[in-house]
Amino acid sequence: MSDFPCLTAPGLKDIPGLVHAFLGRIEQPADGPPLCSHGHRDPLCHVKTTLGLDGCTITTMKQVHGDAILDVAETRVKTAGEADAMASGTPGVFLAVQTADCVPALVVDPVRRVCAAVHAGWRGALAGIAGKAVAHLRDHYGCDPADVRVAFGPAIGRCCFEVGPEVIAAFEKKMGETFDAYVDRKGEKGRVDLRGLVARQLTDAGLRAGHLETVGGCTFCSEKEFFSYRRDGKTEGRQITLAGFSA
């Protein structure tokens, strides 16, 4: 059993061979018992032990709030490069994103046995990263968007995600009046439904509405369970969200 929140999506649990998890706060103690059975205090090692992935590599990337997507074909890649989404159809590749308010999304095709892990902040949402990930699976792996399932993990909610006029103007320029459904305005500022914006991109990319679900609440509201950049500042940790098909 884990000593931190470890959430799974009901719509992904029935996919044979898929390992996935949305993890919460993993505190790294300065002293005391190690985080994993191998005597390490490495949080990723603890994650692997908790999920039964000892001996496997969890692949991460340098997230830059853009729309680049990397393909990972080898099982021993620790860092894929600079991007905000990774995709793989190789068994034994486990892809992870790290978030602390941004939307973590797992994009899975159970037919082709392909998955992608997506990091979507407001800049990534503006660039359409999630919809592009679905298109990437279609174009590079032969996936049918109608078969794809997506799960969102914990992220900052509309209740807490206040943005300035420059962010609102950027979305208005791209979406026009459609953006009104995703913002509660207060003067020049507004509270934005980030997960709602990402969900809209997915359905526009061909995802079936019934194939999208959300697990976990607002990261800002849930201090005991999740890290939040907005609440805690730059020095705090990140949640890990991962997925991959076992070999």
Per-residue model confidence as pLDDT tens digits over 164-216: 999 999 999 999 999 999 999 999 999 999 999 999 999 999 999 899 999 99
- Cα diameter, the chain: 55
Give residue 25's pLDDT: 82
Using the predicted structure, report yes or no on whether residue 2 has a pLDDT greater than 60.
no
Give residue 245's pLDDT: 97
Locus of tokens 């603890």: 46
As a three-state string, the secondary structure of 32-61 is: CCCCCCCCCCCHHHHHHHHHCCCCCCEEEE
Distances (CA, A) of 126 to 17, 50, 175: 33, 35, 9
Using the predicted structure, report yes or no on whether residue 32 has a pLDDT greater than 60.
no
- HSE at residue 27, side-chain half, CA atoms within 13 A, is 10
> 10 Å Cβ neighbour count for 247?
10
As a three-state string, the secondary structure of 156-172 is: CCCCCCEECHHHHHHHH
Give residue 153's pLDDT: 97
Nearest residue to 144 via CA among 208, 192, 196: 208
Whole-structure pTM over 0.85, yes or no? yes
> Looking at per-residue confidence, does 59 or 39 come out higher?
59
What structural domains does the chain harbor? 6-157+208-245 (3.60.140.10), 158-192 (no CATH)
> Looking at per-residue confidence, does 236 or 131 come out higher?
131
* Average pLDDT score over residue span 88-105: 96
Q: Classify strands 114-120 and 85-88 as parallel, antiparallel or unpaired.
A: antiparallel
Contacts of 213 by beta carbon, 8 Å cutoff, 6+ apart: 9, 10, 11, 150, 151, 152
Counting DSSP H helices and E strands in the chain, the numbers are 7, 15
Determine which of 17-31, 59-73, 180-194 has the lowest per-residue pLDDT on average: 17-31
Using the predicted structure, report yes or no on whether residue 121 has a pLDDT greater than 60.
yes
Interaxial angle between packed helices 194-204 and 129-141, expressed in degrees from 0 to 180 and rounded to the nearest 10: 30
Through-space distance between the first and last CA atoms of the chain, rounded to whole angstroms = 23
Residue 67 has φ and ψ, to the nearest 5°, of -130, 20
- Judged on CB neighbours under 10 Å (0-12, 13-18, 19+), 62 is exposed
* Average pLDDT score over residue span 145-171: 97
Tokens of 132: 């592009």
Residue 173 has φ and ψ, to the nearest 5°, of -65, -35
Confidence of residue 11 (pLDDT cuts 50, 70, 90): very high
